[in-house]
Chain A
Amino acid sequence: MSSNPIDKIARATPPSIAKHVRGFSDRTIAWLFVGPSIVLLLAVNIFPLIWTINLSFTNFRANRSRDVEYIGLQNYERILTDSDTWQSMQATAHFLFWTIFFQVLIGFALAYLINKKFKGNDLWTTIIVLPMMLSPAVVGNFWTFLYQPQIGLFNYVVEFFSGVDASSFSMIGSVNLAPWSIVIVDTWMWTPFVMLICLAGLRSIPDSIYEAAECDRASKWRQFWTLTIPMVLPFLMLAVLFRGIENFKMFDLVVQLTGGGPGSITTLTSIDLKREAFEKWRTGYASAYAVILFVTVFGLASIYVKALNKVKER
C-alpha cells in the first residue's frame, strides 16, 4: 500500500464525497483548488482596485450623502497641478533615495563583518536586528525623545563629538534637519533587514570559488569586486526593491516623529493621501491620488524587476 500523502488523503476521503469527485477531470479539480484563492484575490485586491479607479473620476465623498457626479479627469488634473502634491513627491523622493543609499551601504558593511567568523557572532547579529523587530509607531515615538534638544541623547552625542551646543538645534523642528531626522531613524530601524538579505547572499557563495581565486593569486580587493559584489548583487537589488516599496508607503514612523512638519517638509505622499482621504474626506480626489501612486510604484517596480532578472541571468 502506498504511503504517498495524496494516496492517504484519497483513501481518507469519505465514500459519499469520493462518489461526487470521481467523475471530475484533473482540470476541474485544479480549479476547485485554486478557485477559492482566485475569489479571495478578486474580492480583496482586484475589486477594490477597479472600484478605486471608478471613484477617481467622481466627486464622491464618503461622509456625504449627496449625489455623486462623474467629473472626468478633473481630479487627476488638480493633483498633477497642485504644488503641494509635488512637494510631497519631492519629500518622498528625498526620503526614498537617502534611506536606501544608507541602508544598502551600512547593511552590506555589517553583513560583510558578521559573515566573518568571530566570537560572539550570533549575539551581535541578534543585537543588530533588534530595531527592526520594534513597531514603527513606537520607534517614532521614542526617537522624538532622543531628538529632544534639552533631554535627548542624540543631541548630546552630537554635542560630545562636534562641540555644538545640544540645545542649539532641533532635529525635528528645523527645515534643514527634519528631512534627515526621518532618514536617520528609518536607517537605524531597517538597516538590519538589508543586512540579513546581504548575509544570505554572502553565505550562498561557495568557499571553493574563493579558494580558486586564491590559487590564481587574486588579491582580496580583486576577489571582493569580481566575486563578492557580482554574486551578492541580486540579493542587494532585492533588498532595494523591498525597501523602496516599503518606504514609498511610509506613514506611521514619520507621523509619530514629525507629523509631516515643520510646515510640510516631511509630508510624504502617504501622509498627504491619508489627509485627503480620511480627514478631508475627498474620496474621489484621494482615489485619483492613490491611482497615480499605484501606477508610479507599479511602473518603477516592473522596470526594476526586469533589471533584477537580467542581473540574475548573467
Chain B
Amino acid sequence: MKVSKLLMATALTAVTGMGASAASAESLTLCWAAWDPANALVELSKDFEAQSGIDMEFEFVPWPNFADRMLNELNSNGTLCDLLIGDSQWIGGAAENGNYVQLNDFFDAEGIDMADFIPATVAGYAEWPKGTPNYWALPAYADVVGWTYRRDWFERPELMAEFQETYGYDLGVPADLEQLKDIAAFFQRREIDGKTVYGVALYTERGSEGITMGVTNALYNYGFEYGNPENPYGELDGYVNSAGAVAGLEFYKDLYDAGAAPGSSNWYMGENIDAYKSGQVAMQMNFAFIWPGVNLDPNVGGDRTGYFANPPGPAGQFAQLGGQGISVVANTDNMDGALAYIKWFAQADVQAQWTDLGGASALSAVVEADGFADKEPYNQAFLDSMAIVKDFWAEPSYASLLLPMQSRIHNYVIAGQGTAQEALDGLVEDWVEVFEDEGLR
C-alpha cells in the first residue's frame, strides 16, 4: 500500500514536472529595468501573447541594481532571461563574451532593415564593433538626456523683469550652457509662493553611472573627446583632458555650486524627478523617458513645464545617449520564441503603438510621421535631442572605464578635491591602464 502511494506520488510529480517544463517552453522571460516604460511594454506584449500563444513573463529590476543584476546574470551564463533590454554600454561585452545572439542573418531573413531606425540608436544600441554592420540588438527604447523647466515660473512678469535687469537678456529656454548656469543661479534659494526653491537638479550619483551620465552633457559641448577618433585606444592624452574638456568639467562644478539643490550630492533619475515634481527646482536634467510622466503630473504637468534639448557649448551641441536595444540571450531555451518576439516588435504598427503606450520607438517612420513633433509637448525636444547624441564607451571593459570616471569626477565636482585638470589627467592614466590590461595599447 505504502509502495503504491509512493509510486503514485512519484508519477504525479513527474507528470506535473513535465507539464511545467512544457509550459516553460511556451513562455518567454523578458528582462529590463523597473520603470514606467516597462509597464507600457507589459501592455504592448499582450498583443504578442494573443498572436503567438506564448506567455510573456517579465523580470524588472530597479535601476540602481539593474546593471549589477543583469551583468551578473549574463556573466554567470544564467538562464533567467530569454530576451534582455540591456544598456547600450553592455553591447561590446555581451557580444564578445557570447552572451547575445548576433541578429544579422535573422534580420536579413525577416526583412528587418536597420536603415529604418534612427541612425544614432542603431550605432548606440545594436552595433558591435562600433561602425560595423554587426547587429546584436534591435533598437527598443530611444532615450537621451534633456531638460525640463518650470515654464510657469519662467513666465512670471516680476521674475522676467528681475532676470532681464540682472543678466541683460530674457528669461527663457537657455541658448547655451552659460545661460543655463545663469538661470540656475537666479533661481537658487529664491522664495516662490512662500517656499524656498533651487536652481537645478543635476546627475551627481556616485555608486553606479549617475555623475558620468550628467557631466558628459557638459564635457562633450566644451570639447571633450574619448580619444583621437583615428586611434581611440592609443591616444587619449590631449583629448580626454584637453583644455576644452577641462573647461567643461569646471563648468559642471560651477553649475553644481551655483544652482544645485542642497543635499543633491548623490542624485540620479529618481531623486531628480522627486525634486522637480515636488517643486524644489526650476530645472531638471534627466533622461527623456520621464517626460510623459512629468506632463501628466498634477503638480507640475501640462502648461507648467517646458522641455528643451541640452544647450550648446563652445564646441558644439551634444547630449548623452540613453536607451536600450532588445537582444536575444544566447542561453535561451526558447530561441524560436525569442526571435518571434523580435520580429513582432520590429513591425511598424507595433512600434507606433509602443510610442502611444508610453514607450519611445526608435523607428524613423514613427518619429518622422506627420504630426509626431506636435503630438506631445515634449516630442520636439525629444527629436532635437536624438539628433545630437553621443555615448560613453561600449567596450567589453566599459565598467572598468566607468568606475574611475565616477570616482574622478565625483571627487572634483562634489568633494571639491583637486582641480579639473588633475581629475582628467588622472582619468587618462586610469583609462590607459585599462586599455593596456585589455591588450589594446
In chain B, residues 47-87, which have Cβ atoms closer than 8 Å to a Cβ of chain A?
Answer: 68, 71-72, 74-75
Main secondary structure of the interface of B (DSSP, over half): loop
The stretch from B118-126, B151-159, B233-241, B408-416 touching chain A is B408-416
On whether the beta carbons of A150 and B403 are closer than 8 Å, the reply is no
Is B262 a contact of A168 with CB atoms below 8 Å?
yes
Identify the closest chain A residue to B77 (Cβ).
A63
Q: Which residues of A contact B265 (CB under 8 A)?
A: 170, 172-174, 261-262
Main secondary structure of the interface of A (DSSP, over half): loop
Does chain B have a CB within 8 A of A35?
A: no
Docked complex Cα distance between A149 and B189 (Å)? 13
The 11 sampled A-B contact pairs (Cβ below 8 Å) are A144-B266, A167-B263, A173-B263, A175-B417, A259-B205, A260-B206, A261-B206, A263-B206, A264-B411, A279-B68, A281-B399
Interface pair B207/A175, CB less than 8 Å apart: no
Enumerate chain B residues within 8 angstroms of A173, measured Cβ to Cβ.
262-266, 414
Q: How far is the CA of A170 from the CA of B271 in the complex (A)?
A: 15
Contacts of B407 in A (CB 8 A): 84, 263-264, 267
Interface status of B280 (Cβ within 8 A of chain A):
yes
Q: Does A298 contact B (CB under 8 A)?
A: no
Query: Which residues of A sit under 8 angstroms from B412, Cβ to Cβ?
Result: 263
* CB of B196 closer than 8 Å to a CB of A: yes
CB-based nearest A residue for B210: A259
Residues of B within 8 A of A281 (CB): 75, 399-400
Is B93 close to A, CB under 8 A?
yes
A150 contacts which chain B residues (CB < 8 A)? 196, 261-263, 280
Contact check, B263 vs A279: say whether CB atoms are below 8 A apart. Answer: no
Interchain CA distance A262-B72 in the complex, whole Å: 26
Would you call B263 and A63 a contact (CB within 8 A)? no
Q: Once the chains bind, are A258 and B266 in contact (CB under 8 Å)?
A: yes
Q: How far is the CA of A110 from the CA of B263 in the complex (A)?
A: 33
- Do A149 and B263 touch (CB < 8 A)? yes
Chain A 165-179 per-residue mask, 1 if CB under 8 angstroms from chain B, else 0: 001111011110000
Q: Is the CB of B415 within 8 A of A262?
A: yes
Does A147 lie at the interface of the complex (its beta carbon under 8 Å from any beta carbon of B)?
Answer: yes
**B97 in the interface (beta carbon within 8 A):** yes
Q: Are B410 and A64 in contact (CB under 8 A)?
A: no
1/0 per residue, CB under 8 A from B, across A128-147: the answer is 00000000000000001001
Chain A residues closer than 8 Å to B263, beta-carbon distance? 147-150, 152, 167, 170, 172-173
* Nearest chain A residue, comparing its CB with the CB of B72: A278
Q: A258 to chain B: which residues have CB within 8 Å?
A: 206, 266
Number of interface residues of A (CB under 8 A): 35
Of the residues B68, B93, B205, B261, contact of A278 by C-beta under 8 Å: B68
Take A258-B206, A260-B207, A262-B410 as given contacts and tell me if A172 and B97 are in contact as well, using a CB distance cutoff of 8 Å. Answer: no
Binary flags per residue of A241-256, CB closer than 8 Å to B gives 1, else 0: 0000000000000010
Interface string of A271-290 (1 = CB under 8 A from B): 00001001111100000000
The answer to whether the Cβ of A55 comes within 8 Å of any Cβ in the partner chain is no
Complex interface: chain A residues within 8 A of B205 (CB): 259
Hey, which chain B residues are within 8 Å of A148, CB to CB?
263
Q: Which residues in window 183-216 of A have CB below 8 A to B? A: none
Taking the closest CB of chain A, its distance from the CB of B441, in whole angstroms, is 16
Q: Which residues of B contact A280 (CB under 8 A)?
A: 397, 399-400, 403
A residues in contact with B399, CB < 8 Å:
279-281
Cα separation A52 to B302 with both chains bound (whole Å): 57
Q: Which of B98-123 contact A (CB under 8 A)?
A: 98
Q: What is B's interface to A at a CB cutoff of 8 Å?
A: 68, 71-72, 74-75, 93, 97-98, 196, 205-208, 261-266, 280, 396-397, 399-400, 403, 407, 410-412, 414-417
Which residues does chain A contribute within 8 Å of B415, judged by CB atoms?
175, 261-265
User: A: which residues have CB within 8 A of B?
Assistant: 62-65, 84, 144, 147-150, 152, 167-170, 172-175, 255, 258-265, 267, 275, 278-282
In the bound complex, CA of A263 to CA of B74 (Å):
29
Closest to A64 in B: B97
**Distance in angstroms between the alpha carbons of A52 and B264 in the assembled complex:** 39
Chain A residue at minimum C-beta to C-beta distance from B271: A144
CA distance A174 to B263 in the complex (A): 9
Residue of B nearest to A282 (CB): B400
Which A residues are in CB contact (< 8 Å) with B261?
150
Residues in A with CB closer than 8 Å to B68 are 278-279
Known: A173-B265, A173-B266, A278-B72. A263 touches B414 (CB 8 A): yes
Say whether A263 contacts B410, CB under 8 Å.
Answer: yes
Q: Would you call A170 and B262 a contact (CB within 8 A)?
A: yes
Per CB-CB distance, the 8 closest pairs between chain A and chain B, nearest first, are A173-B265, A259-B207, A263-B415, A263-B411, A261-B206, A259-B206, A63-B75, A149-B263
Query: Nearest CB to that of B404 among chain A residues?
Result: A84
> CB-CB < 8 A to A149: which residues of B?
262-263
CA distance A6 to B68 in the complex (A): 51
The complex places the Cα of A173 from the Cα of B265 at a distance, in Å, of 5
Please indicate the chain B residues that have their CB under 8 angstroms from the CB of A265 in the complex. 415
Cα A23 to Cα B399 in complex, Å, equals: 61
Q: In the complex, what's the smallest C-beta–C-beta distance from A61 to chain B, in angstroms?
A: 9
Least CB distance, A123 to chain B, in whole angstroms:
35
CA distance A144 to B396 in the complex (A): 34
A63 to B395, CA, bound (A): 13
Question: Shortest Cβ distance from B198 into chain A, in angstroms?
Answer: 8
* Cα A174 to Cα B407 with chains together (Å): 15
CB nearest to A260 among chain B residues: B206
Give which listed residue, A170, A263, A275, contacts B417 with CB less than 8 A.
Answer: A263
Q: Which residues of A contact B411 (CB under 8 A)?
A: 262-264
Cβ-defined contact, B97 with A262, below 8 A: no
Chain A residue numbers with a CB within 8 Å of B98 are 65
Inter-chain CA distance A305–B206, complex, in Å, is: 38
Q: Which residues of B contact A174 (CB under 8 A)?
A: 265
Once A150-B261, A275-B403, A281-B399 are accepted as A-B contacts, the answer to whether A261 and B196 lie under 8 Å apart by CB is no
